[in-house]
Amino acid sequence: MTRTEYHRIDAPSLGGSGEIAVHGHWGRPVIWFPSEAGAPWDFEANGMLNAVRPAIDEGKITVFCVPSFDSSSWSASWMPLTDRARNHRRYEDWIIWQLVPFIRDRCGGRDDIATAGPSLGAFHAILFALRHPHVFGRAVAFSGNYDPWSWRGWGPSDEETYFTCPLQFVPGLHGGHLDYLRSRLFLTLVVGSGMWEDTTGANYSTHLLAGALADKQIPHEFFVWGHEWPHDWSSWRAQAAVYLPALG
């Protein structure tokens, strides 16, 4: 059974450092973004590690669980959305400039990092892949809402809010950049039809994003699970057991 490691990664853009949990010894590196305001150890505490343990023990994937920065960005509803988006960029800088080099070194130079996560973590997984396809060619997202304006968003719309809202910028993609995304990305969208998938906006938002990706011919797959699958860990455990091992 693979042992869990904990590492503290310098985070100058966040004014300190961030602790991560690493599950695995080999295989495709997967950055796991937690649900809203979540912690690196939530993955194990909520049964996700046991759900995908065979793939981890067999060396198919190594999961890097990161902390959220939501309380200072997307969950900070007292801030206008442009400030939340700007703060998110500080988190983004930590992931790209500090965490990614650590992962590549830890995984023997592998350059095929994927992203994944549930709920707000799904938003992060997709946003990072769309904004940084040169780094993340695959993303798997469970029960995401891809419209930050629906999170009690207020204030002016500007470049910061536009380029951190997939439901806004994906329909506007064109030209050489769109061609590059088509050549680099493959996204997996998963959502249930059960309790809280509607009230969180996840079901509706995931359908909208899948439609936008289809319109732009960005490679993706879209799975809608039935009414017995709520917006909750029971669903994400079952879904992760299906879709995360497929990354390996």
Q: How confident is the model at residue 83 (pLDDT cuts 50, 70, 90)?
A: very high
CB atoms within 10 A of CB 16: 10
Judge whether residue 3 has pLDDT over 90.
no
DSSP line for 89-135: HHHHHHIIIIIHHHHHHHTTT----EEEEETHHHHHHHHHHHH-TTT
pLDDT at 112: 97
Tell me, what's the pLDDT at 1? Answer: 72
pLDDT tens string 44-65: 999 999 999 999 999 999 999 9
The domain in which residue 104 lies consists of: 4-247
Residue 60's CATH number: 3.40.50.1820
User: Measured between alpha carbons, how far is 239 from 76 in angstroms, rounded to an integer?
Assistant: 29
The yes-or-no verdict on residue 155 having pLDDT over 90 is: yes
Q: What is the mean pLDDT of the chain?
A: 97
* Cross-sheet strand order for the sheet of 16-23: 4-11, 16-23, 61-65, 28-32, 114-118, 138-142, 186-191, 220-224
3-state class (DSSP) for residue 244 = coil
Q: Give the total number of structural domains in the chain.
A: 1
Q: What is the pLDDT of residues 88-139, one digit of tens each?
A: 999 999 999 999 999 999 999 999 999 999 999 999 999 999 999 999 999 9
What are the distances in angstroms from CA 182 to CA 56, 86, 120, 142? 29, 27, 24, 22
User: Is residue 75 within 8 Å of 37, Cβ to Cβ?
Assistant: yes
pLDDT of residue 75: 97
